[in-house]
Amino acid sequence: MANTGDNTYPTVDTQSKETAVQEVGDATSQATAPKVEEPSEADISEFIDITQRLEQELRTIVVGQERVIRELLLALLAGGHVLLEGVPGLGKTLLVRTLSDALTLKFARIQFFTGPHARRYRWDYHR
């Protein structure tokens, strides 16, 4: 979408997407796609329960960052990416390390330096 200079939300042309989906659907209708089973009410309830417990656990470790925790979980569950920015001492690293521990994921931290002294710092690629 081109930047038009106004502060409007991006829009999606749904008609062209529907046409594209129909064309792709026609081309792939010859091959049988595996049927995806819809989640049951019990699956949805279990998912909600696990997510709420995860959020509560993060809130007990990282105090005072409820909105950041909620938005981090929403982005994670939606398959998106998150960039945490802020002054030192807000608990950004603690939050992500706790989340990675809770989900048994690998934790890696990237530090960016800006300003006139940024050239002093070098990334250790071998760590």
Q: What per-residue confidence (pLDDT) applies to 31?
A: 64
Render pLDDT for 73-87 as a digit per residue (tens, 0 to 9).
999 999 998 888 888
CA distance 98 to 109: 13
Residue 88 pLDDT exceeds 90: no
CA 64 to mean position of chain CA atoms: 21
Residue 1 pLDDT exceeds 50: no
Q: How many separate helices (H) and strands (E) can be counted in the chain? A: 4, 0
Average pLDDT value over all residues in the chain: 77
Centre a 10 Å sphere on the Cβ of residue 65 and count the other Cβ atoms it contains: 20
> Do residues 92 and 84 lie in contact, with contact meaning Cβ atoms separated by under 8 Å?
yes
% the chain with pLDDT above 90:
43
Q: What per-residue confidence (pLDDT) applies to 33?
A: 76
Centre a 10 Å sphere on the Cβ of residue 21 and count the other Cβ atoms it contains: 10
pTM over 0.85? The answer is no
